[in-house]
Every structure is written in structure tokens, then in C-alpha cells.
A and B are shown apart, each in its own frame.
Chain A
Amino acid sequence: MANVSSLQADLLGRARWRWWEFVIWPVAFVLPFVTPSHALMINEIAIVALFAMSLDLILGYTGIVSLGHAAFFGFGAYAAALFAKLVHPDPTLGLLFALVLSAGLGAVASVTILRGTDLTRLMVTLGTALLLLELANKLDWLTGGADGLQGVVMGPVLGLFEFDLFGRTAAWYSLTVLFVLFLVMRRIVNSPFGATLQSIRDNRLRAMSIGVPVVGRLFAIYTVAAAIAGVAGALLAQTTGFASLDVLAFDRSADVMLMLVIGGVGWLYGGVVGAVVFKVLQDWLSSVTPQYWMFWIGLILVLLVLVGRDRLLRPSTWFGAGRAVRKKGAQA
């Protein structure tokens, strides 16, 4: 008879916290204190890491190829900016507002990704983002149009922590939000719900045939992913003090996908790793060749795919067969 407790141990082992996780998170929180000059960079990395993880939920775990995830990021950014300017400058309230609104948009948009092939889904996600971009452009009385929404002044976080010039409060604020939402996403992906998402990714027909309500799951995860992306966008608007059209641009959707691919799809930390690598790379390349950043990104993408995403070393494979968090590259 198969040993029930060893079977349990295998499954639960995948969800367990690894030793290095107890290291990197405290280090991340200490960094803005240790290197205040890099606080703004850390803030940016935290924000895009959150954005990338939200994309991973739908791309890596559920297999939905989206070229328009920036739609929710940008929507959240504008929502938070407008809330701060027109209603109340409290950051947490603004965050909640952006979360709820982005979730709503995600719920509506989820209708578009239920049916069709990969190409169709690519099209409708791209189209949705372009649609929002157009809207933001045309509704310039609300969004500031091409000039963007300036002068977003935020109140102190939780009424206590003022945003400082160095950006340390911003970095801690973003890191905290990132960590909290990371905990939520971690629970989701390791749960039975998360397993049903992976079943939809691997074989939608079979998922249906074991009783998984595919439509309901897609609706749910798309809404959650949109909400989290919206929070990331809100963080950006709140910590930088403005929102402009490029939060909705195709570049953003492509960049976040690249981050995820670099870091590893189907693995939450892939978003973090990808964000760090991407931002550091971007910073370095911009100082070397300011205009032609796009070329190098393109080259990296091409090489990455030619070499093979699965052949890249990923930390998740370093820890031995039985205990590793085994995430395979998503089959889109």
C-alpha cells in the first residue's frame, strides 16, 4: 500500500518555504536602508516584479497568452492617480480603489479570452490594451492625454510614513505590497484551485472532463491577475507622482512578458528574478546605448527562444529531484 504520509510529504513539500526565501525577503527590505541611493530602483523593481507575477498567474499557470496585460497595469495607474487628485490622497485607500476597479475591468475583459485559439486570444488582449490606450488618449480632459496626469501628491502611508525624496518610503511601501500579494499568490498556486488552473493549461479538454468549470476558473483568475496588475500600476503612479500613456503601451506588455520569460514562466519567483535582471540590464544598457535599447532586448528575446527557454538554468532545479518546486515551462 502506498505510504500516504510520504505522498502527502511530496505534495506539501512543493508548497513549503525554502531556506533561501527567508534570506532574500529580509535582504530586500533592508536594502533601501543600506543603499538609499538605489531606493528608487528598488521601488521600480518591486513594482514590475508584482506586475510580472500577476501575468504569471494567467500565462504560466493557466496558459493564457496575453499581449495586453498592460491594460490593467495602466488602468490601475490612472485610477490611483485620479483618486489621489480628486478624492483623497491616502495611498492605501487609493490602492484599494485601484484594486477594485482593475478587478472589475478584468472581470469584464475575461469574457474575451474564454474562447478561441492562441492567435485569437493574442488579438483580443492586444486589442483591449490598444483600446484603453486610445481611450486614455482621447479622454484627455480626464487623463491629461499625451501629457499625462501630473502632480499626483500622496499623503503619508497609513497616515504615518511620509514619502521622502530618496524614495525609501516608496521602496518599503512597494515591497510591503509586493510581499503581501506574493503570499496570496503563493497560496493560490499551491492550492487545489491552482492545480485546476494548471490542468486547464495542460489540457483544457481533460480539465472539463474531470469536472473543472473551466469558464468559471478563467473568469476568476483573470480577474485576480487584473486586480494585482492594477495594484502594481497604482503603486507606480503613487510613488512616481504621475501617470502617462506609456503605462498602457504595447512596450509594457512586451517587457513584462520578457521579464517572465527570463526569470522562468510557471514559477512565481520567475517574476522577481526576471524583474531584477531586466531592470538591471535596462539600467546598464541605457547608459551604454540610450537609443538602441530596443535592439538588445529584441536580440535577447530571439536568442532566448532559439536556445530554448527550458535549457536556461533556473534556481528551482538546483535543489534536487524530490524537494524541488518543479515547474515546467508553460505550453502556450
Chain B
Amino acid sequence: MLTILFDGIAYGMLLFVLAVGLAVTLGLMNFINLAHGAFAMAGGYLTVLAMQRLGIPFLACLPLAFIGAALLGALLERTLYRPMYGKSHLDQVLFSIGLAFMSVAAIDYFVGSSQQNIQLPEWLRGRTEIGDGAFLLGMGHYRLFIIAVCAVLTVVLQLILTRTRFGSRLRAAVDDPRVASGMGINVNIVFLLTFAFGSGLAGLGGALGVEVLGMDPTFPLKYMIYFLIVVSVGGTSSITGPLLAALLLGIADVAGKYFIPKMGAFTVYLLMIVILLWRPQGLFTRKGAR
């Protein structure tokens, strides 16, 4: 029972890191980016290839994945995404699906369609068990690592948002881009940096996720729904909203698959639909937010 909770939390935190960039993009630029998973995939494949072909150790791959995905994000934001901001949501959906399709096919072409595996370093394999019986808590070391990394990232994110000048510029730009730019805040740069950062986080999440989520060319499409759930249930007006939504989703998914394996992902989708029907603005949005 506790192990399921633990696994769910690990899964949830990973989903959070993967999806937080999407939440910020949606809240900031009112842009529905269904290709967000492609940046995660980029980070994942970067890690796999770096480890397999270049022999770079796992830990070093993590910042590599972040930077690689962030650069890709910055490039695409500047060239492709920027003209799309004013367009209708339908256009954005079509555009980002197109990008997602292209990324899926491209990876399939260059690397092949099979699942990718990595060898985790020794100290991340293994498992510690505490307690016994119903209160047995089995903690895989890798999942512990994930929780630790993601927790640190969450704290860092929160600090950036609330304690730095960039953070306040970002919050101003989210609240009202026109007023913000009237106050001298370079909204374009804010958008660019935020998009890049969000993509970088997705890439990092992808790298972390190779072991627990799997990595193959269909990753962006497979997990797109999960990212969207985190964002639509968690809302886009805070960091804590998506965090809570991701944790809820992670736990629900793991528990659902354990207790009612026949139904699998069914419970997650049903739960999502019910939640969105009950609170269309998301479970954790403050009133009046987008």
C-alpha cells in the first residue's frame, strides 16, 4: 500500500517536471502546445544516445538533456511558435499536432522504432525496504532519486518565480502582457526564456523517464494526454496547482493499475472527465484565472 503511494508520488513528480513547462506556456502565451512531449522525447533520446554512443555517464546526461531540449525549444519558439501566438486555438492544436507527428516520424527514421534502454549506474539500482506487512514501504533507489531531483526542481522553480526579478516579470507578463510591455518588460524575451526553460525541464523529465516510462518514437503522443491532464486539472495560475494535479494523477494511475488491472488507464480518463465536468477551470485554479 505504502509502496504504491511511494511509486505514485515518484511518477507524479516526474509528470510534474515534464508538464510544468506546458502549464506555463499555456498560462503565459495562451498557447495549446500538443508537441510539448517532443521536447521530452528529445531529452530522452539525447540521454540514450549520449550514454550508448559516447559513453557519457548518466548523471552528466541530465544537464545535457536539459540544455539540449532548452536550445531546441528556444530555436523553435523564435522561428515557428512566435507567429502562432495570436492564432485561434484550433490552429494551435493543428500546428502542434503537426510538429508532434513530424518529431515522431523523424526519430523513427533516424533511430528506429524500438524501445530504448539505458543502464543505470550501480548506486541507483536496488531497493530499500522499511517496515513490514501492510505497512511495507519498498523504495526503489531510482524512484527516490527522481523524487529528490524533482523536489529540488520544484523548490527552485518556486524561488525563481517569487524571489527573482525574472520571476516577477514573468508573473506580470502572465497577468497582462500589454501592460507588462508598457512597463518596459521585454515580453518577447520573457516568452523565449520561459519556453526554453519549460522545454528544458521537459527534456530533463524525458531523460529521467527513460527508465520508468520507456522511450520510443511514440512517446509524445502516448504521454500527451497525461501532460494535458496535469495542466487542465491543475490550472495554469500557479506552480502548486499542476504539482498537486500531477501527484494526484501519478497516484491514481499507479493505484488504478494495481488494484483494477483490467481497467488500467480507464480509471484515469474517467477521473479526468469527471473532474473537468465538475470544475472546468481546473481543480486548483484561483477564481478568474484563465
The verdict on A37 contacting chain B, using a C-beta distance below 8 Å, is no
Within 8 A of A (CB), among B230-289: 231-232, 262-266, 269-270, 272-273, 276-277, 280-281
Question: B80 and A302: CB pair below 8 A?
Answer: yes
Question: A65 and B102: CB pair below 8 A?
Answer: no
Question: B97 and A254: CB pair below 8 A?
Answer: yes
Task: Kindly provide the distance from the CB of B57 to the nearest chain A CB, expressed in whole angstroms.
Answer: 33
The verdict on A111 contacting chain B, using a C-beta distance below 8 Å, is yes
Task: Kindly provide the distance from the CB of A85 to the nearest chain B CB, expressed in whole angstroms.
Answer: 24
Within 8 A of A (CB), among B77-91: 80, 83-84, 87-91
Binary interface encoding of chain A residues 281-305 relative to chain B, with 1 for a CB under 8 A from any of its CBs, else 0: 0000000000111110111111011
Task: Kindly provide the distance from the CB of A179 to the nearest chain B CB, expressed in whole angstroms.
Answer: 28
Partner pick for B101 among A116, A257, A295, A305, CB 8 A cutoff: A295
Question: A134 and B269: CB pair below 8 A?
Answer: yes
Question: B88 and A331: CB pair below 8 A?
Answer: yes
Q: Interface stretch among B105-113, B145-153, B189-197? A: B105-113
The verdict on B201 contacting chain A, using a C-beta distance below 8 Å, is no
Task: Kindly provide the distance from the CB of A136 to the nearest chain B CB, expressed in whole angstroms.
Answer: 11
Which residues of the other chain, A, contact B72 by a CB distance below 8 angstroms? none
Q: Interface stretch among B43-51, B124-132, B175-183, B221-229? A: B221-229
The verdict on A184 contacting chain B, using a C-beta distance below 8 Å, is no
Question: B90 and A330: CB pair below 8 A?
Answer: yes
Question: B276 and A118: CB pair below 8 A?
Answer: no
Task: Kindly provide the distance from the CB of A308 to the nearest chain B CB, expressed in whole angstroms.
Answer: 9
Interface SS, B side: helix
Question: B264 and A65: CB pair below 8 A?
Answer: no
Question: B273 and A332: CB pair below 8 A?
Answer: no
Using CB atoms, name the residue of chain B closest to A332: B90
Which residues of the other chain, B, contact A65 by a CB distance below 8 angstroms? 89-90, 93
Which residues of the other chain, A, contact B272 by a CB distance below 8 angstroms? 123-124, 127
- Complex CA–CA separation, A92 to B101 (angstroms): 38
- Complex CA–CA separation, A316 to B57 (angstroms): 60
The verdict on B187 contacting chain A, using a C-beta distance below 8 Å, is no
Binary interface encoding of chain A residues 104-137 relative to chain B, with 1 for a CB under 8 A from any of its CBs, else 0: 0000000110011111101110111011001100
Partner pick for A138 among B32, B94, B108, B262, CB 8 A cutoff: B262
Sample (8) of A-B pairs whose CB atoms are under 8 Å apart: A130-B269, A131-B270, A134-B263, A134-B266, A138-B264, A261-B94, A291-B105, A297-B98
Residues of chain A at the chain B interface (Cβ within 8 Å): 59, 65, 67, 111-112, 115-120, 122-124, 126-128, 130-131, 134-135, 138, 250, 254, 257-258, 261, 265, 291-295, 297-302, 304-306, 309, 330-332
Residues of chain B at the chain A interface (Cβ within 8 Å): 26, 32, 80, 83-84, 87-91, 93-95, 97-106, 108-109, 221, 225, 228-229, 231-232, 262-266, 269-270, 272-273, 276-277, 280-281, 290
A-B interface, 5 closest residue pairs, ranked by CB to CB distance from nearest: A301-B98, A298-B101, A116-B280, A332-B90, A295-B105
Beyond known contacts A122-B93, A302-B95: 10 more, CB 8 A cutoff = A112-B276, A119-B26, A119-B228, A120-B280, A131-B266, A291-B108, A294-B101, A294-B102, A297-B101, A298-B100
